[in-house]
């Protein structure tokens, strides 16, 4: 697949807490870094996202009495999975992995900072209507096709790809530049949504 001038690589949540030793470590999460470094020079535009939660964020199991991480609750905007506390604003865990080196990135987009709503997607919070501002940014800059890499394939990468399609943007997920949490069939579920909405999944080796 040929990369074009109006393409943007969106690198999702390559933060300490999603890498080895982190609070919500994605299995083999660190492995995405080398792949991302290999493909990054092919892109004229790169955006990074950063999961960025308040200390008592409503997606944290610890703020719900009797609840454990990875259980689900019903919230005002639908079913919400509860997570271990992670990516707290200003913490070490919220910093980008120290090996991630993308100084050419043009935007760092933070998400998940509203205390009462989680945000997997880089475009909309989990109510699927509250915008992060990224759609407007890409539109103003005439960046019209998104390539996605990072963590986690079945959550923040996946929902970002689905929302890109909702916005009418072609979306390409670079499978080997992602790693998954795979919680109760979440990989199969997101891939079914990819198929339904027209998200393309390719290996990074297919980029030209
Ligand atoms: C993520 C769960 C909670 C992700 C973020 O980056 O995929 N997953 N917060
Ligand atoms: Zn989070």
| pLDDT tens track for 21-65 | 999 999 999 999 999 999 999 999 999 999 999 999 999 999 999
Whole-number pLDDT of residue 93: 98
**Whose C-alpha lies nearest to ligand 1, atom 2?**
155
pLDDT tier, 106 (very low <50, low <70, confident <90, very high otherwise): very high
Give CA angle at 166 (121, 196), nearest 5°. 100
Instruction: Kindly state the percentage of the chain with pLDDT values over 70.
Output: 100
- Residue in the block written with tokens 């989990």: 126
Q: What is the pLDDT of residue 115?
A: 94
Q: Express as a percent the part of the chain with pLDDT over 90.
A: 98
Higher pLDDT, 128 or 11: 11
Q: Is residue 131 classed as helix, strand or coil in its secondary structure?
A: strand
Q: Cα–Cα distance between 79 and 143 in angstroms, integer?
A: 32
Nearest-CA residue for atom 9 of ligand 1: 120
155 lines ligand 1 (CB under 6 A): yes
- What pLDDT does residue 51 have? 98
Averaged pLDDT, 141-162:
98
CA angle 16, 18, 21 (to 5 degrees): 65
Question: pLDDT confidence of 175, banded at 50, 70, 90?
Answer: very high
Query: What positions carry a catalytic annotation?
Result: 13, 111, 156
Cβ–ligand 1 distance for 94 under 6 Å, the answer: no
Give Cβ neighbours of residue 121 (< 8 Å, ≥ 6 apart). Answer: 111, 128, 132, 156, 159, 160, 162, 163
Closest CA to 194 of 157, 149, 142: 157
Across all residues in the chain, what is the average pLDDT?
97
Q: Averaged over 198-205, what is the pLDDT? A: 98
Q: What pLDDT, on a 0 to 100 scale, did the predictor assign at position 122?
A: 98
Q: Check pocket membership of 180 for ligand 1, CB cut-off 6 A.
A: no
Burial class of residue 5 in the structure, from the number of CB atoms within 10 Å of its CB (0-12 exposed, 13-18 middle, 19+ buried): exposed
pLDDT at 17: 98
Q: Is 126 exposed, middle or buried (0-12, 13-18, 19+ CB in 10 A)?
A: buried
pTM: 0.97
Specify whether the CB–CB gap between 15 and 152 falls below 8 A: no
Q: State the pLDDT at residue 180.
A: 98
């Amino acid at each position: 697949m040929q990369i074009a001038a109006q393409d943007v690589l969106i690198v999702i949540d390559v933060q300490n807490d999603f890498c080895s030793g982190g609070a919500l470590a994605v299995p083999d999460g660190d492995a995405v870094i080398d792949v991302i470094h290999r493909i990054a020079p092919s892109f004229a535009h790169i955006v990074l996202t950063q999961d960025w939660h308040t200390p008592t964020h409503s997606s944290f199991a610890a703020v719900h009495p009797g609840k454990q991480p990875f259980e689900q609750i019903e919230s005002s905007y639908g079913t919400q999975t509860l997570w271990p506390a992670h990516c707290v604003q200003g913490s070490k865990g919220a910093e980008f992995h120290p090996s991630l080196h993308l100084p050419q990135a043009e935007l760092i987009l933070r998400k998940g900072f509203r205390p009462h709503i989680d945000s997997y997607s880089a475009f909309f919070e989990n109510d699927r209507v509250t915008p992060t501002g990224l759609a407007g940014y890409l539109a103003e800059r005439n960046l019209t096709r998104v390539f996605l890499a990072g963590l986690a394939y079945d959550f923040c990468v996946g929902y970002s790809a689905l929302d890109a399609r909702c916005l009418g943007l072609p979306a390409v997920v670079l499978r080997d530049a992602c790693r998954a949490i795979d919680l109760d069939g979440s990989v199969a579920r997101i891939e079914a949504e990819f198929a339904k909405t027209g998200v393309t999944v390719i290996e990074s080796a297919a980029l030209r």
